[in-house]
Structure 1
Amino acid sequence: MSFGHRWPWVFMAMVAVTLGGVLAFGVLETGDQVASVISCLVGLAALCITWLEPRRFGLVDEALEAACGELSAGTRERLRQEVATRGLVFPEPLRVPWRSVDGPFTASPDVVLGRLPGVRRTALRLHGDVMTLADIVGALPARQVVITGAAGSGKTSAAILLAQQIVREGEASLLVDMAGWDPERYSLNDWLTACLTAARPAALPMRHAHAAASRLVEREAIVPILDGLDELPDHLMMQVIESMHEWTRPFILTSQTAEYETAVRATGLTVARALVVRMLPMPVSEIVSHLTAGRADADRRWAPVAARLRISGSLRAVLSTPLMSNLARVAYTRIDSNPSELLELDDADNLERHLLDRVYPHDGAFAWLTPLARYLDRREVRQLDLCGPLIPATWSKLRRLALSFLVFTCYLALMALFVRLESSGTLIEILFEIMLWAGLMICFLLVRLATRGKTQSATPFRFRTRPRRTLGVAAVSAAFMTVFAVMSTSSTLTPQTNVATLLVGIAGFALISAVVGAMAWGSLTEPVAEGETPHPLSAIRWDGWALLAHFPAPLLGTAVFLALQHQLSTFPQNAALTLIVSTVVFDQIPGTAWSRWMIRRLSLARHGLPSDIEEELEKAREQGILRTVGMSYRFQHARVQVHLASATEND
């Protein structure tokens, strides 16, 4: 810790020691002498804690370079696992064709390829398939590419295969979902650092991973796959293009064609020196090869379909996209299935609906996906944000304040009724009153935290006690409150005062102050770091336990204050008021994310989702139907969500 961070501690210690010294060497009575001794001891304790704390150094260059190598190797291994999980190379890669794009939405050929003396290129005429794209991009000066195409055209798969081939030794590569970027929290570079940190190997400590990720991003030794630019709002798409306009690092960006062209037109900027390519429909030979590869008795079962594919029509149009071709391959995996059913459907919409129904049926283990899709569709969102705001963003500030006022009013009214309750003093009634009082406070916290007027997603917290930090806060609290107690009682002391009783009283007060200080906000909890949990629901559970850290400080502090004023009987109502103030003053409170999820679960249950929604979400994620982006779940393909939502509407 530098002196800039130490000076508050040193200053407080010097103040306490000076005060003790002045009191000790003056003409003092017994009480003042006791006060001087206590002050000196407190000051010395704070000073010892300050200088005994070890200095924190950053990683030395050798350790940092080793961490960079371990992190980059871990991301490359993670990318290899992503290829295997998606089945992109088994039984063989799907060779989706592409061609380069010319026109007003791309950089000039000289910018993309590099200028040659005495030569001016006017157009690019590049084409190939996903397995040859790496040869082209790897030879570009900047190794930058934008992959565009229609929904389900294989953009993400092409980007993953490309990144695996163009990443160099010592570089990191990471698949990043653009929908998870929050520009209010991160710049684009800071977000890449956070995502890279989250992808650290299990053996690499978080602090080392963050330092290594910052170094890799700073030296541009990362090839990010920025997937799904079109899933961002229009203003964020423009912000991304403006941020990437002067990038010199290699990258791969994917987007649907129309949305990308609209964003480029709105900004008037191209995306750095990137080569822009467009994914094309697959040829018939590639479709047939993909449908039959690695399947038993495939040639016989798929022969009628292969014959129809040679005739232009809706069947060829549908199966020429990798998404639908893969759905057909999965839907008719069993040897007793009959792909010839597809020949009976001439309309493209009916064909797509038929394939989606076979792979994602409306009954069975994942029947709850249908009401989930409808729930998201009604709110016009793509993701189920576990700790997102419950209050619609369209609400005015006055409307939000009115809701907060209503919550406060109901809470205070219930507390007023509670205070007016008459009790006979029996043990059962006392226990009942304590439970009722605690229940009212917990319900208030749950509703208040869930409906606070914040439009951004809540940050989950976790219990994390750092002994030096906790002891430091406790020492400062004890020092200030001890000096306060001594100064408050010094005028009432007489020579007949019992010194032992006084010492015990001051020591007890200092101990209580230290306990209250140790439980202050920020001493027992800290935000959950990116990638610290295997899935969002784990972070939500941690945040629920961290909510308990919100109680000790206001309750103990209120109790100590009332005890000094001899008004401990008014503790219930004063504690209620303290809790209200604490939810207004502090911006981020542990338990906010958990509170929002608890209330959102009630809403989901009302819309037909199962009570064990947490387990079902994880099963769907493991099956590849859903994926996680930050603290939210979303369908792997938007087309699946649209299909399930529309099917529910038709029903």
Structure 2
Amino acid sequence: MTSEFSALLKQRRREAQMTQEALAERAGVGVRTIRGLETGERADPRVTTVRLLADALGLSPEEREGLLAAAVRRTGDDGPPESSTVPTTPAEPVAGGPPGSLHETLADVSEQLAQTVAARWRREEEQRQVHDPYPLPVRWQPVAEELTDHWANIRRLPAGGTHGPLDLSGQLDEIVGVYRRIPSGRLVVLGRSGSGKTILAVRFVLDHLKSRGRADAVPVIFSIGSWDPTAMTFRDWLAAQLTRDHPGLAASGPGGPSLAAALVETGRVLPVLDGFDEIADGLRRPALEALNATTLPLLLTSRPSEYAAAVAETDVLTSAAAVELTDLTLSDLADYLPRTTRKSRGGDLSATAWDPVLSELHERPDSRAGANLAAVLTTPLMVTLARALYSNTPDNDPASLLDTGRFARPQELEDHLLDNFTATVYRPLPGHRPGSGPRRAVDPERAQYWLGYLAHHLTRLDTPDLEWWRLGHRMRRTTRTLVTALMVCLAIGLVDGIVGTLFDSFAFQLADGLVAGPLSGLLFGIAYWFLVAGKNAAVEPSAVRMKIFSREGKTRRSSLRRLVIGLLCGFLFGLGYGFVRAALNGVRFHLGIPTVLAIGLADGIIYGLMFALGAGPALGLLTLFETPLDIRSAVNPVSLLRTNFRTVATQLLVWAPTFGLMVGLGSMVVIRPMSAILGPVVWSLTAALKLGVISGLGGALGYVFSLTAWGQWTVFSRIWLPLTGRLPWSLVTFLEDAYRRGVLRQAGAVYQFRHARLQQHLARAYQAKRSRSGSRGTGAS
């Protein structure tokens, strides 16, 4: 069925007196694409494609705007396409043209972002059983006046306007309505640990998205604990977090360096800042000052004491109202806990295992047992932990919580719930056999140790975000470099030794591998130190994908820069390789030092030119095949890992043959002039072929292991950390299993522990176990 866009495209093509084939060739798209768009078979006209067509047709600014508007309406009517409608190349404004196309482009991006955010947090609510059987009540009350701004500022009143407090009363399902009563659009939600701040933030996002209009900002949850306000501005940090969770937003955008930055700068993102209290102690004051320097609407959550301390040091959050979450009541517990467990068998079917506990709390609230338990079961966190330990585990009797011999103080009860949570969720299921179902059997003690290491890792990084590409980041920089160099050494040494036997004897190749492996490890280790470890950085996941037949993402400047880098690195590697080979031959044949130096210099220059002619063009060529990732490519950490793997795999398919071919051909090109300058050089076609094959495979592996996020993940998370016992061998399976069991949650492209209290508890338990066993953890400090 044809559409307005289909008819308009056909009309503009005929007015330009062009055939479909001619338009396809001029626009750089396929003929099938043109045919599908004109017949209506393709219901997903990308903004990028529409712009290419408009350029090829030579449309005026008004005609261009009309074609783009028709495409946007078509996409909006038909729903989201299978392939993203988000532009993957810059949406540049037309000189002198109307700004509407920029507005529509960002509106399209916002729609995609809204769909992704909604799907993500709906799935998270399901994983956390928020609606099973119903959400625990979350209520709030006004806070002390010294923690809020003047009501005239909150109301955005002009000078002299009358003012008074706003009515901010409500409960969980009314949070969006309460927020919209605040003219400034700035709200602070305070609550003690486990009081339901994150649950409220999630519900706010989902309910806001349900009633969101196309022009409204998209609410996005950001874990603000990872922000260093002294190193990055607030807007830049928001854009960086958006890019991390949605790599497609790294694409160049209208009016800004990236789509993420454009969304932030144009107010199309409503920041929901979760965990202000998780910012490092010395950074909360500058963080609050930085937030006050902006006028962005936002919702901020924090524990009361940390926020109050920051306010005392500087000022309240400008124009922000504030509320504080209240404790759960005995009535809340009586309504909720019995509905989370099975009915009694026989007798009174309305009775449950929680009855003795609820009776104690109701009838003897002043008893030692009742007072202790009442002090603990006042937050959603502790109630959900108690549910996991007792409602979901028939063998455990909740009446044991009343044992004052075991639990003399409320803190001991909390520690008990936290201690046994992981043991409970990892308990073997009755009749479950390893491999018999989707849930893997994991030893609870080992699981707690591995989770403890991850929690300790996050504590040392001072962040709640478990990023798979940073799992080796807290090792000493020298250790990281040595491990990376060792892996490169082994990989290239094996490639040289095994593949080389196709050309030379095993003994010769063994010796050659013993030279090439350590030297490659040394040089790649040096490169890794200067580019990554020396800066105390981590290799970020690629923001591009490899598409061999795509014209998108070509940037001459980037290609030229990589060409120069490749030429320089290739020459330095070849110089070192040739010199070391000459030195070993000098020792082997008992040559004098002057002769060895002369041969080493000559071989170094020859090999340097060979590898330079291979590395430069190969790196430059990679750029031509890069195109920005789609906005929906990082729905979760595993999808980002898989996307990065596919990018690396394609890079290998391009890099290895290109580098190998260029080195082989470069050797034949270099030998003749070098022979004329340096004297006779023994070389053959077989030697060129051998060098090309080994260089292509070895160079590609060295690049992947040392300078890609997936390679670093493989080195540390798949080999080194499991080898040293700190993580399981199948880490992805373990993390996904922990997510399904409710220990971890997903926040975009990263994992987080379901609660900061759980992370802190596991980190302390891990540290205590290490102290008792005397284990230092190689390179972990």
TM over 0.5: yes
Is 1:523 the equivalent of 2:584?
no
Give the equivalent residue in structure 2 for 1:328. Answer: 386
How big is the shift at 1:88?
3.2
The one of 333, 348, 352 aligned to 2:414: 352
SS of residue in 1 equivalent to 2:535: coil
Distance 1:604 1:130, change over 3 A: same
How big is the shift at 1:318?
0.7
SS of residue in 2 equivalent to 1:301: coil
Give the equivalent residue in structure 2 for 1:163. Answer: 205
Structure 2 residue identity aligned to 1:278: E
Structure 1 residue identity aligned to 2:382: M
SS of residue in 2 equivalent to 1:602: helix
Any conservation in 1 of the 2:376–2:382 contact (CA below 8 Å)?
yes
Is 1:137 the equivalent of 2:179?
yes
How far apart in 1 are the matches of 2:189 and 2:181? 17
SS of residue in 2 equivalent to 1:277: strand
Structure 1 residue identity aligned to 2:92: G
Give the stretch that moved more between structures: 305-314 or 455-464: 455-464
Give the equivalent residue in structure 1 for 2:582. Answer: none
How big is the shift at 1:643?
3.0
The one of 323, 328, 339 aligned to 2:398: 339
Is 1:277 the equivalent of 2:323?
yes
How far apart in 1 are the matches of 2:468 and 2:276? 22
How far apart in 2 are the matches of 1:444 and 1:245? 49
The one of 141, 144, 150 aligned to 1:102: 144
Is 1:227 the equivalent of 2:312?
no
Give the stretch that moved more between structures: 105-114 or 208-217: 208-217
SS of residue in 1 equivalent to 2:273: strand
Q: How does 1:13-24 map to 2 (within 5 A)?
A: none
Give the equivalent residue in structure 2 for 1:69. Answer: 111
Give the equivalent residue in structure 2 for 1:455. Answer: 536
TM-score, normalised to structure 2's length? Answer: 0.57
Give the stretch that moved more between structures: 595-604 or 131-140: 595-604
Size of the aligned set, in residue pairs, is: 544
Structure 1 residue identity aligned to 2:446: W
Give the equivalent residue in structure 2 for 1:301. Answer: 353
Is 1:538 the equivalent of 2:620?
no
How far apart in 2 are the matches of 1:525 and 1:162? 41
How big is the shift at 1:98?
1.7
Distance 1:269 1:205, change over 3 A: closer
Give the equivalent residue in structure 2 for 1:490. Answer: none
Could you report, residue by residue, the CA deviation over 1:287-311 in whole angstroms, capped at 9, with x for unpaired residues?
2222123543274322111122231
How far apart in 2 are the matches of 1:135 and 1:541? 43
Q: How does 1:302-321 map to 2 (within 5 A)?
A: 302-310=354-362, 311-312=365-366, 313-321=371-379
Any conservation in 2 of the 1:371–1:607 contact (CA below 8 Å)?
no
Q: CA RMSD in A?
A: 5.2
Any conservation in 2 of the 1:389–1:457 contact (CA below 8 Å)?
no
Any conservation in 2 of the 1:368–1:608 contact (CA below 8 Å)?
no
Any conservation in 1 of the 2:244–2:749 contact (CA below 8 Å)?
no
How big is the shift at 1:173?
1.7
Distance 1:539 1:112, change over 3 A: same
Any conservation in 1 of the 2:188–2:299 contact (CA below 8 Å)?
yes
How far apart in 2 are the matches of 1:403 and 1:602? 12
Give the stretch that moved more between structures: 294-303 or 223-232: 294-303
Q: How does 1:553-592 map to 2 (within 5 A)?
A: 556=663, 559=667, 562-563=670-671, 564-566=673-675, 590-591=707-708
Any conservation in 1 of the 2:327–2:379 contact (CA below 8 Å)?
yes
Structure 1 residue identity aligned to 2:137: R
How big is the shift at 1:539?
5.9
Distance 1:642 1:569, change over 3 A: farther
Distance 1:526 1:375, change over 3 A: farther
Structure 2 residue identity aligned to 1:342: L
Distance 1:592 1:166, change over 3 A: closer
Could you report, residue by residue, the CA deviation over 1:494-530 in whole angstroms, capped at 9, with x for unpaired residues?
xxxxxxxxxxxxxxx99x9699525438637869868
SS of residue in 2 equivalent to 1:223: strand
Any conservation in 1 of the 2:250–2:258 contact (CA below 8 Å)?
no
Give the stretch that moved more between structures: 247-256 or 81-90: 81-90
SS of residue in 2 equivalent to 1:254: strand
SS of residue in 2 equivalent to 1:151: coil
Any conservation in 2 of the 1:389–1:455 contact (CA below 8 Å)?
no
How far apart in 1 are the matches of 2:139 and 2:90? 54
Structure 2 residue identity aligned to 1:427: S
How big is the shift at 1:327?
1.3
Give the stretch that moved more between structures: 544-553 or 282-291: 544-553
SS of residue in 2 equivalent to 1:520: helix
Distance 1:190 1:302, change over 3 A: same
Distance 1:465 1:244, change over 3 A: same
Q: How does 1:613-632 map to 2 (within 5 A)?
A: 613-627=731-745
Any conservation in 1 of the 2:541–2:710 contact (CA below 8 Å)?
yes
The one of 316, 338, 355 aligned to 1:292: 338
How far apart in 1 are the matches of 2:512 and 2:473? 32
Distance 1:165 1:637, change over 3 A: same
Any conservation in 2 of the 1:152–1:323 contact (CA below 8 Å)?
yes
Give the equivalent residue in structure 1 for 2:597. Answer: none
Is 1:368 the equivalent of 2:446?
yes
TM-score, normalised to structure 1's length? Answer: 0.67
How far apart in 1 are the matches of 2:123 and 2:92? 32
Unmatched 5+ residue regions in structure 1?
Answer: 1-50, 482-508
How far apart in 2 are the matches of 1:212 and 1:558? 41
Distance 1:136 1:596, change over 3 A: closer
Give the equivalent residue in structure 1 for 2:518. Answer: 440
Any conservation in 2 of the 1:543–1:590 contact (CA below 8 Å)?
no
How far apart in 2 are the matches of 1:629 and 1:72? 15
SS of residue in 1 equivalent to 2:328: coil
How far apart in 2 are the matches of 1:300 and 1:314? 21
How far apart in 2 are the matches of 1:589 and 1:388? 13
How big is the shift at 1:341?
1.9
How far apart in 2 are the matches of 1:403 and 1:81? 39
Any conservation in 1 of the 2:172–2:200 contact (CA below 8 Å)?
yes
Distance 1:158 1:179, change over 3 A: same
SS of residue in 1 equivalent to 2:342: coil
Give the equivalent residue in structure 2 for 1:464. Answer: 546
Distance 1:546 1:623, change over 3 A: farther
Any conservation in 2 of the 1:284–1:309 contact (CA below 8 Å)?
yes
Any conservation in 2 of the 1:230–1:260 contact (CA below 8 Å)?
yes
How far apart in 2 are the matches of 1:402 and 1:315? 47
**RCO comparison, higher one (Cα < 8 Å, 6+):** 1
Determine what percentage of the aligned residue pairs are the same residue: 23
Could you report, residue by residue, the CA deviation over 1:377-427 in whole angstroms, capped at 9, with x for unpaired residues?
6664255554449676998xxxx79989x989x99xx99xx9xxxx9x953
Structure 2 residue identity aligned to 1:644: L
SS of residue in 2 equivalent to 1:174: strand
Distance 1:371 1:85, change over 3 A: closer
